[in-house]
């Protein structure tokens, strides 16, 4: 069955570059990002994992752990990180799952359609995970899912932006408008009446339509 937003993120135990982890225990009480890449020692993936390494301190500030995954063995990951640091200028310090039996890739439906049939006779060498991203909340539920084609590198600045939005909207009764960036005006959700909003947003707000009320980002 396909995963959906607000489903509980499937738990698993896996071998990583940081040893064996249980996913839910590893997440703890914070947020987590699980992202897959097609294959080690490939060009687009090298740039992606290097950029995530650069962004890791920003995710840490937001109480969010990151973990990578491909069907390559952990030994390959450990050798590849040297190339990533050399070419991208940043060391990969987050764990990377070696999903050689495809267990997690199947659990999270990370395989492309032409490789999603019977598991009989399949090996890690003949499969490549697509570029999937899952953001998981402290309640262990899936908050975001994204899947890119193998040939297109992801915009991880966007993942950070979405995390900012979700953490804000989890705390306050607001939503974020198109192209919103941290610090910009937000939207009071329609379920909040004007009367209730007066107690929440004492500096007032701008009403464009009864259902579209802009207010300064709460802190």
What are the residue numbers of the active site? Answer: 45
Both tokens of 21, joined, read 């982890």
3-class DSSP state for residue 156?
Answer: helix
Residues contacting residue 161 through CB under 8 Å, at least 6 positions apart: 180, 181, 182
Rounded to whole angstroms, the Cα distance separating 5 from 112 reads 20
What values do phi and psi take at 142, rounded to 5? -75, 125
Query: Could you tell me whether strands 64-70 and 142-148 are parallel, antiparallel, or unpaired per DSSP bridges?
Result: unpaired
Residues contacting residue 176 through CB under 8 Å, at least 6 positions apart: 165, 168, 169, 186, 187
What values do phi and psi take at 154, rounded to 5? -80, 160
Rounded to whole angstroms, the Cα distance separating 133 from 125 reads 22
């Amino acid at each position: 069955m396909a995963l959906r937003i607000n489903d509980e993120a499937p738990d698993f135990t896996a071998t990583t570059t940081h040893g064996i982890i249980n996913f839910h225990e590893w997440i703890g009480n914070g947020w987590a990002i699980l992202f897959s890449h097609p294959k080690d020692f490939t060009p687009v993936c090298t740039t992606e994992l290097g950029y995530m390494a650069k962004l890791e301190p920003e995710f840490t500030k937001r109480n969010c752990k990151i973990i990578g995954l491909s069907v390559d063995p952990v030994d390959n990951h450990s050798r590849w990180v040297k190339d990533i640091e050399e070419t991208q200028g940043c060391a990969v310090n987050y764990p990377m799952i070696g999903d050689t039996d495809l267990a997690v890739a199947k659990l999270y439906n990370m395989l492309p359609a032409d490789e999603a049939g019977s598991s009989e006779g399949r090996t890690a060498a003949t499969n490549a995970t697509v570029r999937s991203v899952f953001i998981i909340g402290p309640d262990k539920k899936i908050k975001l899912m994204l899947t890119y084609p193998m040939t297109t590198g992801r915009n991880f600045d966007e993942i950070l932006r979405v995390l900012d939005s979700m953490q804000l909207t989890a705390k306050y009764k607001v939503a974020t408008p198109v192209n919103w960036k941290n610090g910009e005006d937000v939207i009071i959700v329609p379920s909040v009446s004007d009367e209730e909003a007066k107690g929440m947003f004492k500096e007032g707000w701008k009403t464009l339509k009864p259902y579209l009320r802009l207010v300064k980002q709460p802190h």
